Amino acid sequence: MIGIRQKILLGFIGMLVIVAVMGFLTVNQIDRLGTAIEVILKENYRSVVASGKMIDAIEKIDNSLLGSVVGKEDADPGILGQNETFFREALAVELGNITIPGEGVKAKNIARLFESYVVGTRLVADSSRPVAFRREYYFTKLHPICAEIKNLAGEVLGMNQASMTNAGIAARRMAASAHNRILGAIIASALISLLFGYQSRNWILKPIRKLIASANEIKSGNLELVIEKGSNDEIGILSEAFNEMALTLRRAKKIDDETLHRTRLASQEVMNLLPAPIAIIDPEGTVTVATKSAVEIFGLQLGRPLTDSASSVLCDIVNRSIREMRAVEAEEQRYIQIFKGNREYFFQPQAAPVPPFKETEKLNGTVLLFKDVTQAHEQKELKRSVVSTVSHQLRTPLTALRMSIHLLLEEKIGPVNAKQEELLLTARESSDRLTEILDELLDLNRIEAGKATIDLQPLQPDAIVTRGVEPFLPEARDKGVTIFTETAENLPDVLADRAIIQHVLSNLLSNAIRHTSPGGTITVRAEQENGDIRFSVEDTGQGIPPEHLQHIFEQFYQVPGQRQTTGVGLGLAIVKQMVEALGGSTGASSTPGHGSVFHFILPAEPGKS
């Protein structure tokens, strides 16, 4: 770990290196500036060269014309044309390279005069004209234009030569001056950096170390600490603020301690008045607050770990609440049974995590509540007893009734007419349906009471689907409904009871066929889901409205408005109880007008998923 001292030293060293590098680059750049200026001055040199070419070209034209007017020989058109071209090229260079104030005006005058001069050269070079005329025209008009052009070109040349000389001198002086100034700035910056780096130890590092030591003291709980102010600078101001902070913390801690103690006493008194057993467990698993009933009934002593007095059910539910960070409650089979005063009581443990502070996001503890479900348990047991008794009592007269209807239909005691036979057939169907309802009630009662016989054995999902679908193929074919099966490959076996699982599939398929119109389809699937096996029955029927979907697994619940020729709403409730008895879960989804999907999930055989 790099401390502040090392960071500051590294910062100064880095700054020194940066200054040195920047200085070197700057000096080098300035040195290159002088060279660059010389390159820039080449533009003036181009104007100088162009001016010289113009003077040379016009002199050659003038000499050729002069020879023709003094009678030596006629002017050579080749010389005139070639030098005219040379002049125009040089003039174009000059017009495109104006760099000095006033240079442009002179260049334009040269261009204007040269056009007049070219017109005059045509007249003087024309040998068909009289020599006297050409001589007079040359000396009176053409030669003065030539002299003026040469004069202007000479001025442009002189201006550029003077600019080149002055610019070069000024640039070199500027570069030398900047070079010296930057070298001085680099040396001064380096010295200041070194001096400041040396002094920072006394100015910053020592006071900061003292503040760090004081902060650690306060962290350890020493709020009585007072820091000595050593200077009037920012460190001194920080020391004063530190002392003020410690004083404020001492006052706040005192107030908080008093408030916490008062709140704890009041909370305990309020908790003692509550009839329901309630306890609060801190993050370390210790009972911090408990009602009198929680102490007397469940032995949750204040200040003692939950594991010392609580059963495994309570420890499991508290751990589950902490793990899932939500309120949870024990399942019915894990209710706590208590005998008190010659009476049996049942309590359902519930646990909820105390929300953490936003600043720390650390769990503050768990609230443990015991819900008295004795009355509900007694009512459920009473209902089971009544259902069992009534079902058994109804079975004997119902059997006699069915036998009587059977004998009448077989005409053992005399013939019956067509109307009587129709009524007897209706009575037989109703009695058969009543027998099925009684069987369903007894099955549901046995499952809820935990008295159903379950023979768990490994079963192949593909075989379960195949056996479950086969009995319904004729019925589906007669109704015009097609049944498909889709089973994933290499599915592990499930631990289930063969009879129970077939009953579950039969119930779901029977419902699907009943609610699917002719021409529709039913798809039975088996697939893996998170290590478990998911079985589903999907139909293309009319579907179930969303407001009814969450109630369809409840006892005696029927969806209003659906086609129902039989049933009282027990089939899906029995399916749910059977699947849960096998350690699985059920569910359904539906889109009104497009069909429904009922599914149940069973755990795979251990070690095979």
Question: CB of 132 within 8 A of CB of 68?
Answer: no
- pLDDT over 90, % of the chain: 11
Angle between helices 103-125 and 143-200 (to 10 degrees): 160
Which of 112-126, 198-212, 374-388 has the least mean pLDDT?
374-388
In this predicted model, which residue has the larger pLDDT, 399 or 204?
399
CA dihedral 138→144→148→149, nearest 10 degrees, is 0
Taking the model in full, what pTM does it have? 0.40
Q: What's the CA gap between 572 and 596, in Å, rounded?
A: 14
Q: Are residues 436 and 559 in the same domain?
A: no
For strand 366-372 and strand 278-281, is the pairing parallel, antiparallel, or unpaired?
antiparallel
The reported pLDDT for the residue numbered 37 is 60
Render 358-384 in DSSP notation, one character per residue. Answer: TTT-----EEEEEEE-HHHHHHHHHHH
Q: What is the CATH number of the domain that holds 306?
A: 3.30.450.20
The reported pLDDT for the residue numbered 421 is 77
Q: Are residues 444 and 463 in the same domain?
A: no
Q: What's the CA gap between 94 and 155, in Å, rounded?
A: 13
> What values do phi and psi take at 310, rounded to 5?
-90, 155
Q: Are residues 384 and 506 in the same domain?
A: no
Q: Are residues 337 and 444 in the same domain?
A: no
Q: Are residues 442 and 335 in the same domain?
A: no
The reported pLDDT for the residue numbered 144 is 92
The residue-averaged pLDDT of 441-449 equals 61
pLDDT band at 223 (very low <50, low <70, confident <90, very high): low
In this predicted model, which residue has the larger pLDDT, 11 or 343?
343
pLDDT band at 586 (very low <50, low <70, confident <90, very high): very high
Asked if the model's pLDDT at residue 181 lies above 80, the reply is no
Q: Is residue 478 part of a domain?
A: yes
Question: CB of 242 within 8 A of CB of 214?
Answer: yes
Q: Are residues 329 and 385 in the same domain?
A: no
CA dihedral 145→148→153→159, nearest 10 degrees, is -160
> What values do phi and psi take at 343, rounded to 5?
-135, 150
The residue-averaged pLDDT of 559-581 equals 71
Q: Is residue 501 part of a domain?
A: yes
Q: What is the CATH number of the domain that holds 505?
A: 3.30.565.10
Q: Is residue 323 part of a domain?
A: yes
Q: Are residues 301 and 394 in the same domain?
A: no
The reported pLDDT for the residue numbered 450 is 58
Strand partners, 535: 526, 600
DSSP state of 195: H
In 201-233, which residue ranges form alpha helices assigned H by DSSP?
206-219
In this predicted model, which residue has the larger pLDDT, 33 or 604?
604
Q: Is residue 211 part of a domain?
A: no
The reported pLDDT for the residue numbered 381 is 61
- Entry field: residues in the chain: 609
| The two three-digit tokens of residue 596, written as one number | 């429904």
The reported pLDDT for the residue numbered 91 is 86
Which of 99-108, 141-150, 330-339, 417-426 has the least mean pLDDT?
330-339
Domain that holds residue 67: 4-195
CA 556 vs CA 450, 537, 552, 561, 573: distances in Å: 20, 21, 9, 15, 8
What is the separation of C-alpha 361 from the centre of its chain, rounded to a whole number of angstroms?
Answer: 20
pLDDT band at 523 (very low <50, low <70, confident <90, very high): very high
pLDDT band at 354 (very low <50, low <70, confident <90, very high): confident
Asked if the model's pLDDT at residue 5 lies above 60, the reply is no
Q: Are residues 472 and 332 in the same domain?
A: no
Which of 5-14, 181-190, 337-346, 467-476 has the least mean pLDDT?
5-14
pLDDT in tens, 263-317: 766 666 666 666 677 777 877 778 777 777 777 676 777 777 877 666 677 777 7
The residue-averaged pLDDT of 428-432 equals 74
In this predicted model, which residue has the larger pLDDT, 106 or 296?
106
In this predicted model, which residue has the larger pLDDT, 576 or 413?
576
Q: Is 299 helix (H, G, I), strand (E, B) or coil?
A: coil
Q: Are residues 57 and 105 in the same domain?
A: yes
Asked if the model's pLDDT at residue 35 lies above 70, the reply is no
Q: Are residues 115 and 16 in the same domain?
A: yes
Q: What's the CA gap between 532 and 558, in Å, rounded?
A: 30
Asked if the model's pLDDT at residue 120 lies above 60, the reply is yes
pLDDT band at 333 (very low <50, low <70, confident <90, very high): low
The reported pLDDT for the residue numbered 526 is 93
pLDDT band at 31 (very low <50, low <70, confident <90, very high): low
Strand partners, 536: 525, 599
Q: Are residues 136 and 180 in the same domain?
A: yes
The reported pLDDT for the residue numbered 176 is 73
Q: Is residue 143 part of a domain?
A: yes
Q: Are residues 479 and 421 in the same domain?
A: no
How would you classify residue 536: left for phi > 0, otherwise alpha for psi between -120 and 50, otherwise beta? beta
Question: CB of 94 within 8 A of CB of 86?
Answer: no
When mean pLDDT is compared over 18-32, 94-108, 330-344, the highest value belongs to 94-108
Question: CB of 573 within 8 A of CB of 554?
Answer: yes
Q: What is the CATH number of the domain that holds 83?
A: 1.20.120
Q: Is residue 250 part of a domain?
A: no
Q: Which of 408, 423, 448 is the last residue of a domain?
A: 448
Count of domains for the chain: 4
| The two three-digit tokens of residue 477, written as one number | 């074919």
CA dihedral 408→413→414→418, nearest 10 degrees, is 0
In this predicted model, which residue has the larger pLDDT, 577 or 535?
535
Question: CB of 221 within 8 A of CB of 245?
Answer: no
The reported pLDDT for the residue numbered 534 is 94
Q: What's the CA gap between 345 and 337, in Å, rounded?
A: 6
Q: Is residue 244 part of a domain?
A: no
Asked if the model's pLDDT at residue 7 lies above 60, the reply is no
Q: Which of 372, 404, 421 is the last residue of a domain?
A: 372
Neighbours of 173 (CB within 10 A): 11
The residue-averaged pLDDT of 51-59 equals 88
The residue-averaged pLDDT of 321-348 equals 73
Question: Please, which residues have CB within 8 angstroms of residue 343's CB and are 6 or more apart in sequence?
Answer: none
Q: Is residue 238 part of a domain?
A: no
For strand 343-353 and strand 328-329, is the pairing parallel, antiparallel, or unpaired?
antiparallel
The residue-averaged pLDDT of 91-101 equals 86
For residue 486, the surrounding DSSP H or E stretch is: strand 482-487
Q: What's the CA gap between 286 and 307, in Å, rounded?
A: 9
Radius of gyration of the chain (CA): 55
The reported pLDDT for the residue numbered 222 is 73
Q: Which of 151, 180, 195 is the last residue of a domain?
A: 195
pLDDT band at 101 (very low <50, low <70, confident <90, very high): confident
- pLDDT over 70, % of the chain: 73
